Amino acid sequence: MKKIVILLVLILCTGMMTESFAQKDRRLSRGFSINLITGVPLSSYGGNIYENKSGIISGFKIGNRWYFTSSKKFEIGLMANWADISVAFNSTNLPMDYKSNQFFADFSVCEVGPIGTIPLADAIALDAYCNIRPTVLASIYSISPNYSSNETVSYVGGGVSYGLGTAFRWKVLNVGLEYVFGKVKCSDTNTDSGYPDITLKTDNFRILVGVKF
């Protein structure tokens, strides 16, 4: 009986919190956001390392926003994403019983840029934004026989990439589309290998689904 009462209290509290979030007008308010990321690489994604472009990109993004104007029809503010992390992986069978394994990671922190928001209706808003993304890129690439391992080449580098996006918001729900692009010069992590530096590209389209409180 005690467990049933506790469960009912938790359900009631959850319902009250959900109703509270639904009632507050969050269209032009500052707040915290978290989004899950899924995307597809473009043909230039990863430079010459990520050769098979048919993989899926996945990750997450957390951040804040602040508005500076006072209009009820259009607001301009600042978006800051504290962490934006995404990864992609492909394993492809090649001729002669060989396999290609590729891993690509994008670690971006303290992204900043302007955001504009238009309220469309009650509890509905449309965002548009541009981010400058301080980025660390990492890539691991290997070709090996299916029956044994082979040498793995890994690259890492830091630089700047960019993100252009738009999002549709209804109450706390956020659904957006984002285009990420940029080039980062990377070096082989094995300094004795003799491999030259390469340029890795972040070009991809993303779908973001999350919440903005």
Domain that holds residue 73: 2-212
Calculate mean pLDDT across residues 128-155: 80
Domain count, the chain: 1
Whether the predicted pLDDT of 2 surpasses 70:
no
Could you tell me what percent of the chain has a pLDDT over 90? 45
User: What pTM value is reported for the model?
Assistant: 0.80
Residue 8: pLDDT above 50?
Answer: no
Structure tokens given for 64: 């804040």
Q: Please give the angle made by the CA atoms of 190, 180 and 74, to the nearest 5 degrees.
A: 145
Q: Where are the beta strands (DSSP E) in the chain?
A: 31-41, 57-67, 75-94, 98-121, 124-145, 152-170, 173-188, 198-201, 204-212
CATH value at residue 181: 2.40.160.20
Rounded CA gap, 14 and 139, in Å?
42
Which pLDDT does position 103 carry in this prediction?
85
pLDDT at position 149 is: 57
Question: Which of 24-28, 29-33, 181-185 has the largest mean confidence?
Answer: 181-185
19-48 burial by CB neighbour count: b if 16+ within 10 A, else e? Answer: eeeeeeebbbeeeebebebebebbeebbbe
Grade residue 4 by pLDDT with cuts at 50, 70 and 90: very low
End-to-end CA distance of the chain: 35
Q: What is residue 5's three-state secondary structure?
A: helix
